[in-house]
Amino acid sequence: MQKNKTDYDKLKITEGKHWEICLHKNQYFLGRVYLWAKRTDASDLMDITQAEQQEFFELGKKVRDALTSLFQPDLFNYAAFGNDARHLHIHIIPRYETARSFAGITFRDGRWGKNYAPYDYDFKISEDKLLQVRDAIRTEMEKHGIC
């Protein structure tokens, strides 16, 4: 995952003192987001500070709850690799046993019951639809005083 500044700014949902939540540009898994550590030298999950840890779990639970409210995923996968973007970030990947529809698009989790990867890395929706997903998550989080 490359951190393209333009995409990153467009897809940011919200932020705290230590983390930013962004929509992943590939929505093969509807609602996929990631938490990006704001500390510039953050690279290893096991080295986060107590304050970073507390905020990570607070924001992570809140975005998970917003995704649950919006899309009713059947479970969540969590992933932290650092292979492409050598900076600490953790993916929250909703998984779906059955298809979901949003903004006129039907999303199918063709990897249900398996590891989320490999998936269709070339899956794309229009920028307009991508921003609709971002805004829906942001609005759901705002309902609960998060953003």
Domain of 75: which CATH number?
3.30.428.10
- DSSP summary character for residue 68: H
pLDDT at 2: 44
**Model pTM?**
0.91
**Average pLDDT, stretch 35-40?**
94
Query: For residues 50 and 100, is the Cβ–Cβ distance under 8 A?
Result: no
| 146 inside domain | no
Indicate the number of domains in the chain: 1
Per-residue model confidence as pLDDT tens digits over 62-90: 999 999 999 999 999 999 876 666 788 99
Q: How far is CA 49 from CA 20, 46, 55, 63, 103, in A?
A: 16, 9, 10, 21, 39
Q: Is 33 helix (H, G, I), strand (E, B) or coil?
A: strand
CA angle 12, 32, 8 (to 5 degrees): 25
- DSSP summary character for residue 47: G
| 145 inside domain | no
